[in-house]
Structure 1
Amino acid sequence: MNATHPARHLFAAASLCLLALSTSVAHAQNMVSVQGSTLNMREGPSTSSAVLWELKRGYPLQITERKGNWVKVRDFEGDTGWVARSLTGNTPHHVVKSKVANIRSGPGTQHRIVGKAEYGELLRTREKRADWVRVEREEGVGGWIAKNLLWGW
């Protein structure tokens, strides 16, 4: 008889959980947000490099490379550039990546719609639950949005 040992299943399940957790932590460690009121995304790692975009406070960015006091980053649309590391922070934010996203009173489609957020809107991350993120607008109004409609951490 060729029975699989129960401990192997437990080990495999634990390994998958650790992999998922480490991937999530690695993603968060590779994310930053704009710390000051604005930040210039530049072509290269230098203040003499051309400014590509001006980003506002909280805008989430994914780090793809590090060079001295600079980090190369990618935004939710896939645009890349360089920013001064000292002007970034670790306050989590999300950007709406769908045309429109329903903001709900709770984490699920059974909850009522309390508002709508549009493509590119910047939202402060307040809580995460499975496939939902509780977000807050700059003026303090917020709710829950399905995670797949957002980009950030």
Structure 2
Amino acid sequence: MHFLIFYIFLFFSIIDPTNLIAETLSVKSQKLNLRSGPGENYSVKCVYSKGFPLKVLEKKGDWVQVTDFENEVGWASRGLLVTTPHAIVDVNQGKNRRINVRSGPGTKFNIVGQAYYGVVFRVLDKKGPWRKIRHQSGLSGWIQQDLLWGT
């Protein structure tokens, strides 16, 4: 029994819970090439624009392995990423349906805009399950967190 308690203590003392939460970064430049490996000599898998959120999976020198909201995995130069929080609409894929952007953090607030799947927003604030966002067009308001990826 003492060995079991010792091993449980050892297990939890080794694991750092802060490492279990993926770090989310955003594209800093106007264009970021997601590559198949950690270096410029690897092929480009896809291209992201400014603000696009990515979650870090692994770090290797000046390169980070990341994943996007559609589970595309690849490598990006760390110098082209920032910690400025961004999120992307992650519901209604393949549907012609929009989500509501509201004037306040709740469904009782007025609708000030709408957004389709894949639209990127900068996250300005958090209030419970709501995120205050701003689009590059200037539209700002509140969206429920469960409709977004990257927050």
TM > 0.5: yes
- Cα deviation, residue 98, structure 1: 1.1
Mapped partners of 1:139, 1:101: distance in 2: 17
Q: How does 1:132-143 map to 2 (within 5 A)?
A: 132-143=130-141
Deviation by residue 1:66-89 (Cα, 9 ceiling, x = unmatched): 111100001011110000111111
Equivalent residue of 1:95, what SS? strand
The residue that corresponds to 1:46 in the other structure is 39
1:101-120 maps to which residues of 2 (within 5 A)?
Answer: 101-120=99-118
Q: Does 1:89 align with 2:92?
A: no
Q: What amino acid maps onto 2:48 in structure 1?
A: L
CA deviation vs aligned residue, 1:9-40 (integer Å, no higher than 9, x gap): xxxxxxxxxxxxx66x964x711111111110
SS of 2:146 mapped into structure 1: helix
Identity %: 41
Q: Can you list the C-alpha shifts for 1:88-120, whole angstroms capped at 9, x where unaligned?
A: 111110000012211011100111111111100
- 1:53-132 matches, within 5 Å, as 53-99=46-92, 100-132=98-130
Q: Contact 2:69 / 2:149 at 8 angstroms: preserved in 1?
A: yes
TM-score computed with the length of structure 2 as normaliser = 0.81
CA contact (8 A) 2:113 2:139 kept: no
Give CA-to-partner distance per residue, 1:114-141, whole Å, 9 cap, x none. Answer: 1111100011111111100011110211
1:148 to 141, 146, 149: 146
Q: CA RMSD in A?
A: 1.6
Q: Any gaps of 5 or more consecutive residues in structure 2?
A: 1-16, 93-97
Paired residue total:
130
Whole-angstrom CA distance in 1 between matches of 2:70 and 2:88 = 10
User: Which 4+ residue blocks in structure 1 deviate beyond 3 angstroms?
Assistant: none
Q: Which residue identity does 1:150 align to in structure 2? A: L
User: TM-score with structure 1 length normalisation?
Assistant: 0.80
